Structure 1
Amino acid sequence: MTSTSATHYRHHVFFCCNQREPGGRVCCNDAGASRLRDYAKQQVKKLGLAGKGRVRVNQAGCMERCEEGPCLVIYPEAVWYTYRSEADIDEIIRSHVQNGEPVTRLRLP
């Protein structure tokens, strides 16, 4: 694992929260990305994981994977996920962020 001094955060979680015009291509925000990003931020804080040297949850613009999404990516490992529910977010936080084990069933190729 990369040192926190080099990355500033042990894990940096980016949620694609892109919103496209209605009737166009699919976008992550249509699948609740902003709501689930907010939920993830709350959970990370509630679990005492947030802060410098620890975990940061951020919004990102389009990451060009909306058709596979909604999607998020966790750095420094560059592991991409899709998710559908708070339970999926809880599993990603518990397994990957807290225990270092990626969630195979939710990984994007």
Structure 2
Amino acid sequence: MMTDDAIQPAYFSHHVFVCGNHRPPGHPRGSCGEKGSEKLRDYMKVRAKELGLAGVRINAAGCLDRCEHGPVLVIYPRGTWYRVADTVAVDRVLTEDIRDGRPIPELMLPAEVAPAK
């Protein structure tokens, strides 16, 4: 049992959740799954290993409630939200943000569409 002052160690330096939500075709909000998020997630997992990014976990997520801006992902512990439309964007997230620690403003979801923190 953990005490109130105990701090649990982080299992991962970065935990990436890629929206994999599917809505019916023609839904007004669209869905990240229909926009290719699963293929992008699979690519991201392979590239992270190729780049030797230790301590990075990449998971599928259910609906992240931003599908109209998708495909989207969120990286914790920072809570940075990105739109990743293609493998070029995925590579940038992996190298610039995760590896080099530099957020990518032009890929971030605008504050007005990101969930409240």
TM-score clears 0.5:
yes
> What does 1:89-104 align with in structure 2 at a 5 Å threshold?
89-104=90-105
> What does 1:59-74 align with in structure 2 at a 5 Å threshold?
59-74=60-75
Is it true that 1:18 corresponds to 2:6 in the alignment?
no
Alpha-carbon distance, 1:49 to partner: 1.4
Q: Which residue of 1 aligns with 2:59?
A: 58
Regions of 4+ moved over 3 Å = none
Q: Which residue of 1 aligns with 2:34?
A: 30
| Count of aligned pairs between the two proteins | 102
**Which one has a bigger Cα radius of gyration?**
2
Alpha-carbon distance, 1:20 to partner: 1.1
Q: Which residue of 2 aligns with 1:42?
A: 46
Q: Which runs of 5+ in 2 are unaligned?
A: 1-7, 112-117
Alpha-carbon distance, 1:7 to partner: 2.3
Q: TM-score scaled by structure 2? A: 0.83
Alpha-carbon distance, 1:33 to partner: 0.3
CA RMSD for the aligned pairs? 1.1
Q: TM-score scaled by structure 1? A: 0.88
Q: Which runs of 5+ in 1 are unaligned?
A: none
Provide, for residues 10-56 of structure 1, a one-character-per-residue CA deviation record: whole Å limited to 9, x for no partner: 00010001111223230001111000000000001111214xxx100
